[in-house]
């Protein structure tokens, strides 16, 4: 693993040459690292991810590399396009895919995967946890990102999830209202079906707090199956997190027509 800051001392030195001089990595390994998003450039006050191999640098520029071979060798599951409105698109994000990248790379992030598939810029307007699968909106311009973010902030986008918990969930319908991180949070839970071991729940959230559904269900002693953070699942638990975003409904900010995307039944969580 390499985590290093490189201060440029030679005017117009190429990025790839600066990285070769400062690390023990080959040019091919560094080209792959650049493409996968683990190299950053600070020029002036801005620090941005950089991929241009032959980018000429200026004296005083700072280059940061966060090279982790295990992270960079991960092979992402590809997302599925559900709707393309050009200004934004809607995708099925598989479990295991990040919503956005980190300093260690972005090749397993939905934003980068969509950017490469559609050859358009991508802007994140909401998130799903890495372990959560389901429907996500991606904007393709700053103006569209602002418009969609406003819809989310004004609670004009209806979000529905499926969750599977252990045992017989005792409520046909219940609303959970406990605050999360000091902020109001509201989740509406409906039991859909159960068997001897599990219950399948439909969850509609009116707020979008971090880990809201996971926290609310854990607080009433029905943590989601596979939840290693708020439940009883251990690190080597055999099941993935049984939480999925299955429906997004809103008025399109482009043509004001209603959009109602429901995940195909064959792709939805089942008992």
What is the dihedral sign for C-alpha 121, 127, 132, 135?
negative
Residues in the chain with pLDDT values less than 70: 233-239
Name the one residue in this structure whose structure tokens are 């949070």: 185
From residue 31, alpha-carbon distances to 51, 64, 71, 123 in Å are 8, 15, 15, 24
User: For the structural domain made of 157-271, what CATH number should be given?
Assistant: 3.30.2350.10
User: In the beta sheet, which residues pair with residue 160?
Assistant: 204, 247
> ∠25-27-32 over CA atoms, to 5°?
90
Write down the domain spans for the chain: 2-72, 77-154, 157-271
β-strands 133-139, 187-194 pairing: unpaired
Question: So which residues are the catalytic ones?
Answer: 129
Give CA–CA dist 66/19, Å, rounded.
Answer: 12
Q: What is the reported pLDDT for 11?
A: 96
Contact between 138 and 122 under an 8 Å Cβ cutoff? The reply is yes
User: In this predicted structure, what is the pLDDT of residue 236?
Assistant: 57
pLDDT score, position 231: 85
The CATH number of domain 2-72 is 3.20.20.70: no
pLDDT at 232: 76
**pTM (2 d.p.):** 0.91
CATH architecture of 77-154: 2-Layer Sandwich (3.30)
């Amino acid at each position: 693993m390499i985590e290093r800051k490189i201060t440029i001392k030679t005017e117009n030195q190429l990025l790839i040459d600066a990285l070769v001089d400062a690390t023990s990595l080959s040019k091919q390994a560094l080209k792959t690292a650049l493409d996968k998003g683990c190299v950053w450039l600070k020029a002036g006050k801005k620090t941005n991810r950089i991929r241009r191999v032959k980018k000429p640098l200026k004296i005083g520029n700072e280059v940061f590399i966060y090279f982790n071979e295990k992270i960079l060798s991960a092979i992402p599951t590809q997302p599925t396009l559900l709707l393309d409105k050009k200004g934004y698109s809607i995708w099925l994000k598989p479990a295991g895919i990040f919503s956005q990248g980190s300093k260690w790379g972005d090749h397993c992030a939905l934003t980068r995967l969509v950017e490469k598939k559609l050859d358009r810029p991508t802007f994140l307007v909401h998130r799903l946890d890495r372990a959560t699968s389901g429907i996500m909106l991606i904007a393709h311009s700053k103006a569209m990102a602002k418009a969609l973010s406003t819809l989310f902030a004004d609670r004009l986008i209806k979000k529905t999830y499926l969750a599977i918990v252990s045992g017989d969930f005792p409520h046909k319908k219940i609303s959970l209202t406990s605050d999360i991180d000091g902020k109001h949070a509201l989740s509406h839970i409906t039991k859909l079906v159960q068997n001897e071991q599990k219950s399948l729940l439909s969850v509609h959230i009116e707020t979008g707090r971090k880990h809201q559904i996971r926290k609310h269900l854990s607080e009433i002693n029905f943590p989601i199956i596979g939840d290693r953070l708020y439940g009883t699942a251990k690190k080597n638990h055999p099941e993935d997190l049984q939480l999925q975003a299955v429906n997004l409904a809103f008025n399109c900010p482009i043509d004001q027509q209603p959009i109602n995307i429901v995940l195909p039944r064959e792709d939805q969580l089942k008992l």
